[in-house]
Amino acid sequence: MIRELAWQVRSRLPRLAGLGLRLLHARMLAGLRLEAAWAQAQAACRRSPPPLRVAVTACWRFPIYSQTFVQQEAAALAASGVELRFFHEETGPRAELAHPCRILWPLRRRLVLDRETGACDLAHFERRAPERVRRLLERLARATGLSTQALRGHEHVLCAFSFARAMRAWRADYLHSYFFYEQSLFVWIAAQLLERPRGVSCYADHLLQDYPLKAVARQLADSAVIVATSRRIADELEALHGGPLPGLLVKPNAVDTRSFPPRPAAAPPAAGPQPLRLLTVSRLDPKKGLEHLLDALLHLQARGLPLRVHLAGEADRGQPEARAYEAALRVQAAPLEAAGVLRFLGRCDSHQVRAELQAADVFVAPFVELANGDKDGIPTAVLEAMAAGCAIVATDAGSIPEIVADGREGLLVPQRDPAALADALAALAADPARARALGQAARARAQREFDIAVCEQPFHAAVQAAVRTAAAARPSTGAR
């Protein structure tokens, strides 16, 4: 009797779990509808038009410690006066949200997405807009090489229909995503179903063949706003598209330079040689090229150059390759740690990073481009170092040459060349005045070209224009 009862309970667990998820999804939709209705009622009471409603998503988890660049762009958009919500599936620790972006914490909204609920939502849209569903699945099939039948059974495609229902419930006017993984797929499908404009911010993954539903060219063609974070990335995107992209905007990652105080005046020269204070802030990841920095430090140590090196960052624990890379770095760095030259700081919050930048003489970015095409665009860590007035020593990887001119804001060396990296660091150690002048020039350029006040306004204007254009062209209110 007990065994039979236990078997019945176990056999019904999947069904009960599915029912529970559908109930949570329904509750989520009801909450989003109520939130949208309340905002509309408030606008009516004020007798003013409601603010633009912008839905943003980047990854399944929010916040993510290493995505400060995403947080900064979204926070600046929220501060511009739009009604913004950041949609995600799992909530990470608040400590992973950069302090200057804390405006986003109360704006996050967690979604409930799963295969069974997605199948129900696909059926929902097929009842209301069958031709629209058919067309978008056919377009996605042509872009990915998968059959429409395979797409109908793909978990991410099904979840995209649930995402679209959430966007409809919240009455989003504009949808924006980052990278070309599942969240951008969600946004593309929702935008097609609801006839709403969408945009995407592009970094480096558009060249990677690491997700079967990327459909980069299709997504670019259907995006009203395309943010390329460097000129090099813009050229790559237009090459993928096969010509000019009407919605393309070259906008580097921006930083709030006001949050980085000026460096203190140079202290009188101290007696005896003083260690050159170096800082690197990055994830412990192969594309960061940290093994070449360690080789350069060993060269400098052999020359007798006094050094103090701090390395802030950690490996992504969810990636075995990154964990193995960190283990290899630790072995390579052991002599430097034993000599008191190098210190691994681990993860640092924004306050700690600013303190480290204030104390550093030189910021080092030994980054590299990997064989699979993975690379950094314009690293936020380098922009923050420039804003803090650090001299920059970096490689020519990615789009770094677009923000650091060799000999003006810093020194650039070839990728994977520890000897050249060591020579550049030794040159600045021998000439502190030059290092300080490079740092001052770096800070001035960051204020002039890469401050939030300079970079973000064209993006905000592009979003507003996209919504106006779509509203004027839209014959209906989109699928309900």
Looking up residue 131, the CATH number of its domain turns out to be: 3.40.50.2000
Q: What is the model's pLDDT at position 123?
A: 98
**Residue 478 lies inside a defined structural domain of this protein:** no
Bridge partner residues of 202 (DSSP): 228
Angle between helices 320-338 and 290-303 (to 10 degrees): 10
Residue-averaged pLDDT of the chain = 93
Strand-pair partners of 280: 311
Kindly report the number of other CB atoms within 10 A of residue 47's CB atom. 6
Residues 127 and 238 in one domain: yes
pLDDT score at 405: 98
User: Do 249 and 278 reside in the same domain of the chain?
Assistant: no
Residue 41 lies in a domain: no
430 burial level (CB within 10 Å; 0-12, 13-18, 19+): exposed
> What is the largest distance, in Å, between two alpha-carbon atoms of the chain?
87
Based on the domain organization, do 150 and 264 belong to the same domain?
A: no
Assess whether 231 and 351 both reside in one domain: no
Is pLDDT of 228 > 90?
yes
Radius of gyration over every alpha carbon of the chain, rounded to an integer in angstroms: 25
Structure tokens at 241: 């598209």
Residue 287 lies in a domain: yes
Q: What is the mean pLDDT of residues 33-53?
A: 91
Residues 250-296: tens digit of each pLDDT: 999 999 999 999 887 776 666 667 899 999 999 999 999 999 999 99
- Asked if 466 and 225 count as a contact pair (C-beta separation under 8 A), the reply is yes
Co-location of 154 and 239 in the same domain: yes
Q: Is the peptide bond before 51 cis (omega within 30 degrees of 0)?
A: no
Indicate if 171 and 303 belong to the same structural domain: no
pLDDT at 202: 96
What residues have CB less than 8 Å from 74, skipping those under 6 apart? 56, 58, 84, 86, 101, 104
Count of domains for the chain: 2
226 and 340 co-located in one domain = no
Q: What is the pLDDT of residue 268?
A: 67
Residue 116 has pLDDT above 90, yes or no: yes
Q: Are residues 105 and 144 in the same domain?
A: yes
Are 104 and 191 found together in one domain? yes
- pLDDT computed for residue 359 by the predictor: 95
Residue 70 neighbours by CB under 8 Å, 6+ apart: 58, 64, 178, 201
Q: Let me know if residue 25 belongs to a domain.
A: no
**Does the pLDDT value for residue 480 go beyond 60?**
no
120 part of a folded domain = yes
Tell me the one-letter amino acid at 341.
V
Average pLDDT over residues 125-149: 98
Measured at the CA of 436, the angle between CA 435 and CA 439, to 5 degrees, comes to 90
Domain, as residue range, for 270: 257-450
Q: Which residues of 106-120 are buried (b: 16+ CB within 10 A; e: fewer)?
A: eebbebbbbbbbbbb
402-458 confidence digits (pLDDT tens): 999 999 999 999 999 999 999 999 999 999 999 999 999 999 999 999 999 999 999
Is 110 inside a domain boundary?
Answer: yes
Q: What does pTM read for this prediction?
A: 0.90
pLDDT of residue 269: 64
Looking at the structure, tell me whether residues 207 and 278 fall in a common domain.
no
Answer whether residue 1 is part of any domain. Answer: no
Q: What is the pLDDT of residues 335-358, one digit of tens each?
A: 999 999 999 999 999 899 999 999
- Residues 204, 320, single domain; the answer is no
Residue 89 lies in a domain: yes
Residues 6 or more apart whose CB falls under 8 angstroms from that of 63 comprise 71, 92, 93, 94, 96, 97, 98, 101, 104
Residues 294 and 441 in one domain: yes
470 neighbors 175 (Cβ within 8 angstroms): no
